[in-house]
Chain A
Amino acid sequence: MTWFLIGVGGVVTSHGVGMAVPDWPNTYGYNMFYFPFSQWVGGIFWEHSHRLVASLVGFMTLMLAIWSQGQGGRRLLRFFFFPAGLLISLLVLFFVRENVGQHLSITLGFSLFVLGVSFAWPRMGAAPVLVRRLAWAALGLVVCQGMLGGLRVTLYADQIGIFHASTAQLFLVLISVIALIVSPLWANQKPSQLLNSGSSSDQAAQRVKASWFSWAMLVLSLVVFMQLILGATMRHQHAGLAVSGFPLAYDRFLWPPTDQDFINQINSERIDHREFEPITALHVQVHMVHRATAVLLLLGAAVLTAWVVRRYGWRHAHAMQSLFFLGLISTQAALGIATVLSNKAADLATLHVMIGALTLVSGSLIFLNVRRELHLANASSRVRSKAILPAKLKPEWSSASA
């Protein structure tokens, strides 16, 4: 759902309709859940859909955080969220002037809903501390994310849009990490045989290799995140495609010129029904850094995959993971090229954002998975050494007496 939300957000920016709904948190004066469907026209459709899907993701994250408390969630629902809903309803009653009935129906409806749910809430154990902390962190992040989205609209600040887009990626990673940790995959994970077979020096060598693999994946994931921030910056400059042409950039092999005459020329020649901000030298530089980093990423992922396959063979899990990651990076590169060649067509640009998000999540989860594997391997070694050590140290008299 979060991935889908990022996609809808991508469509909003790709179409340049982020300001199609001028108010927030209301929609054209209505409580957003009451905005009539007949009015979802043009850019409003995408922006309003984005807000509604975001509300659903926010609500689901709230439920996740409460769920992580186990049966303690009952108390939270009954003694915190129910009164909080009532308090907000009172505030609406006293301070809101328009569409009070609409707002009250939502806030009071929420209060009654959580009260009702509290009685049906399962009596289960709480999730592990780590999961609980991550779930509440996710709730905090999603609230911040909603506020960022709202401030971007009400403060007319494009820069906030860049933070909003980047935070969305972090939120997706966090939610994916929670999903991984609570999954049976995590609970049943065992260290691969390679890490625990052979002599202790063989095991140590294997673990060093696995560790290298994990850190390389982390570095690549961080570069992917940087690429996503650069991409968000390019999108929120609202300048359209700053550099046209591929593989050449404005007919130049390495770097296009950025002198003012050239910039003026490309601005006057550019025709699009969307009104973009004029391209500047900085826009061109950012675009070219994005391209150059993409090439580095592709090379990095290819080298890592070749290294992993040579050491582990095709069928090893790490080889599969590397190949999958390389596949995503290659798809992402192809989508980037298609985005340029199509003059930033909205559907391709959005797909580019979505696959970028998937690449970041995949890299992060692979990193976590391998670190967990190493952690389990080290833990099992410690257990074995503890089991072996007393036997070695067993005093000779004990066997003699036996």
Chain B
Amino acid sequence: MNPKKIIVFLAALTASAQLVQAGNITGKVTLKGTAPGELNLPLDPLCKKTVKPNTTPTTRFYVTDDQGGLADVFVYLKNVDASTAPADPVVLDQKSCEYSPYVVGAQVGQTVKVLNSDPVLHNVHPTPKKAGKEYNKAQLPNGPALEFSWDKPEVFLRFKCDVHPWMFAYVGYVEHGHFAVTKEDGSFTIKDVPPGTYEIEAVHRKTHTKGEGIVAKVEVTDAGGQVDFVVDITK
């Protein structure tokens, strides 16, 4: 057999073995303490028309379920080597004069694509402090998508609309793909993590205003790993 073919075969075998060995990190983030009440958004008449009848949109600072599970927490591995950003963009949509999703993760270099599904003019204003350049671009009603990307990490990179001062989205912009955002029950899954011991951080954008969240250690085996976090606002 050709030695080159043997080397390629062995390399492929090793890579596939690593993929097989990769596990998922799962866990849950819960809120300790009573969250302050959310506020109704002061929608202007044009934005009110875009909202479903008999609904009143509110702020989304502490979204929890009955069990105290906390949504919209960005969980990611620390001190992990950078990897190539996916070609697919992360999409932020402006719907009913709110950003959707509210919190999202993306990789450094990955494009953040912003849509405007509203019949209303918005300005898209990402305000990075570490990631790179600030932009402020107009987006007409149902206008073409705007695309942004930066070359440094930042948790959280804020998007805002100054026309409607209640509209925000937060992007956890990190150098690798090992991240997740908690669901409405506070659960999260970081997929395909190679076995090893990792530092893992959970950042809630309201509680951890400086982007420095709760750090824990997690052991990942072939079967995966498990870690839970408690965001304590009673202190």
**Residues of A with C-beta under 8 A to B209:** 264, 267-268, 278
B207 touches A268 (CB 8 A): yes
Q: Which of B194-234 contact A (CB under 8 A)?
A: 206-207, 209-210, 233
Is residue B160 contacting chain A, with contact meaning CB distance below 8 A?
A: yes
Q: Is the interface of B mostly helix, strand, loop or mixed?
A: loop
Bound CA–CA A265/B231 (angstroms):
12
Among A28, A44, A156, A273, find the residue whose CB has the most chain B CB atoms closer than 10 A. A273
Is B164 at the interface (CB under 8 A from chain A)? yes
Residue among A16, A17, A29, A42 facing the most chain B CB atoms (10 A cut-off): A42
B134 interface residue (CB < 8 Å to A):
yes
- Shortest beta-carbon distance from A343 to chain B in Å: 11
Contact A271–B44 (Cβ < 8 Å): no
**Is B235 positioned at the interface, with any CB of A under 8 Å from its CB?**
yes
Q: Which of A42-67 contact B (CB under 8 A)?
A: 42-44, 47
B53 at the interface (CB under 8 A from A): no
Roughly how many angstroms separate A275 CA and B127 CA in the complex, as a whole number?
A: 12
Contacts of A47 in B (CB 8 A): 162
B138 touches A22 (CB 8 A): yes
Could you mark each residue 1-28 of chain A with 1 if its beta carbon is under 8 Å from any beta carbon of chain B, else 0? 0000000000000011111111100001
Does B3 count as interface, using CB distance less than 8 angstroms?
Answer: no
Chain A CB within 10 A, most for which of B44, B59, B134, B163 = B163
CB 8 Å contact bits of B43-65 with A (1 = contact, 0 = none)? 01011000000000001010000
Are A28 and B168 in touch, CB under 8 angstroms? no
Q: Decide: A44 and B42 in contact? CB cutoff 8 A.
A: no
Check if A28 sits within 8 Å of B39, measured CB to CB.
Answer: no
Q: Which of B38, B165, B233, B235 contacts A274 (CB 8 A)?
A: B165
Interface stretch among B6-14, B22-30, B118-126? B118-126
**Interface size for chain B: under 10, 10 to 19, 20 to 34, or 35 or more residues?**
35 or more
- Cβ-defined contact, A275 with B164, below 8 A: no
Q: What are the residues of chain B within 8 A of A21 when measuring CB–CB? A: 123
Q: Are A268 and B164 closer than 8 Å at their CB atoms?
A: no
Decide if A201 is an interface residue (CB 8 Å cutoff).
no
Chain B residues near A199: list those with CB within 8 A.
none
Find B163's partner among A17, A153, A156 (CB 8 Å cutoff). Answer: A17
A278→B164 contact, CB < 8 A: no
Contacting A at CB under 8 A, from B127-170, are 127, 134, 136-138, 158, 160, 162-166, 168
B206 partner residues in chain A, CB cutoff 8 A? 267-268
Q: Verify B163–A20 contact, CB threshold 8 A.
A: yes
- A41-B209 Cα distance, complex, nearest whole Å: 31
Listed from nearest, the 5 A-B pairs whose CB atoms lie closest are A278-B209, A22-B136, A20-B162, A42-B163, A19-B162
Ordered by A's residue number, 12 sampled pairs between the chains whose C-beta atoms are within 8 Å are A21-B123, A22-B125, A22-B136, A41-B46, A41-B163, A42-B46, A153-B136, A267-B209, A269-B36, A271-B39, A273-B165, A273-B166
Instruction: List residues of A whose CB falls within 8 A of some B CB.
Output: 15-23, 28-29, 39, 41-44, 47, 153, 156, 261, 264-265, 267-269, 271-275, 278
